[in-house]
Amino acid sequence: MKKYIPLRLMKGTLSFLISKRLILILPILSLVTLLVMVISTGMGDMKIGPVDVVKAVIGQGSDIHTFVVQIHRLPRIVVAFLVGAALAIAGAILQGMIRNPLASPDVIGITGGASVAAVTFLTLYSDSGNTLTISIHWLPVAAFVGALIAAALVYTLSWHSGVTPIRLVLIGIGLAFATDALTTLMIIEGPLYLATQATLWQTGSVYASTWQDVQVLLPWLLICLFIALIAARRLNVLEMGEDIASSVGSHVQRNRLLLLLLSTALAGAAVSVAGGIGFVGLMAPHIARRLIGSSFGALIPVSAMIGGLIVIMADLVARTAFLPLDLPAGIFTAAIGAPYFIFLLFRHKNL
């Protein structure tokens, strides 16, 4: 316990165990993320130096630099960070809630359900001129509903006198394939312009992101992050096991339901903007746990920073390594995440 600092707010209503290493690690991660964002903003068809990037961000650069940075690159990079952070927090919550190191929103089909709902939303609410007849701000709500249905299906189908981690993962993988098939069906049945957009969703990309996407995603992420930090104490208790959690007075089933809603809200919002960028929710919490320990008061913000950093770096490689091609960032997160998932599956085969 000496490596943790107890933090109590609102007369003990909110309490956290903060790792002392968080005081060092979080500022370092923030600085690294900021540097990567500046470097990424300057790279592409037009190379822009870091100093000129900063000038362009604050409106002191040349017109062409300001246009490229503020209109084209910066919103994309900010969206990449927000999407990665949302998926990482969702993964950390899932892994703690069901005590399963293999769990993440994409592995168990939650992001697939969100993708189906998002594509269906665009299909149903697009007119003949390919214009939405309803506010785009409802898209995260639709994605959240799809993610929630997928999560409920996985949990229900996995239940047989309890839920075992391996059963939940295998059923989740099956559901993920089924949601991919449904997404493909909606692409075929939907308007033609939707095909390209939906294909990007299936792989996961922040291509053509705008400040409007930031406005849609940022409030969701901030609200969910705040709730996740409040729920950190419950996650710490749940991770000790159902028997211990019940013995200390925790309402296990109610807390699991609330945490599942929170995780699906995060995953659904991320998918509604960038599609199913895979394995971020799996990898980021594991890396964060290595750095900061398992207390969720520190694990959640560090996972968010690492998840955001992973997607920014994946997108940087995707749009600069194969110029003039601009590939989906999800290809590169999957290239790293899939072998890592197999490694974890082998390592935890006795679960």
7 forms beta bridges with: 16
pLDDT > 70 fraction of the chain, expressed in percent and rounded: 84
What six digits make up the tokens of 254?
A: 């109610």
User: How many residues comprise the chain?
Assistant: 351
User: DSSP assignment, residue 130?
Assistant: S
* pLDDT at position 83: 92
| Strand pairing class (14-19; 4-9) | antiparallel
pLDDT (tens digit per residue) in 187-233: 777 666 666 666 666 677 788 788 888 988 899 899 999 898 888 88
Residue 101 has φ and ψ, to the nearest 5°, of -70, -10
pLDDT in tens, the chain (351 residues): 566 677 676 666 666 666 777 888 889 999 999 999 999 998 888 888 889 888 888 888 788 888 888 888 899 999 999 999 999 999 999 888 877 777 788 777 888 888 888 788 877 777 766 666 777 667 777 877 888 888 888 878 877 766 666 677 778 888 888 888 888 787 777 666 666 666 666 677 788 788 888 988 899 899 999 898 888 888 888 777 767 776 766 777 777 778 888 888 888 888 878 877 888 888 899 899 888 887 888 889 999 999 999 999 999 998 888 877 778 888 888 888 778 877 777 776 655
What six digits make up the tokens of 224?
A: 């969910």
> Average model confidence (pLDDT) for the chain?
81
Are 206 and 79 in contact, with CB atoms under 8 Å apart?
yes
Are 65 and 52 in contact, with CB atoms under 8 Å apart?
yes
* pLDDT at position 263: 87
Helix/strand/coil (H, E, C) string of 74-129? HHHHHHHHHHHHHHHHHHHHHHHHCCCCCCCCCCCCHHHHHHHHHHHHHHHCECCC
pLDDT (tens digit per residue) in 236-282: 887 777 677 767 667 777 777 788 888 888 888 888 788 778 888 88
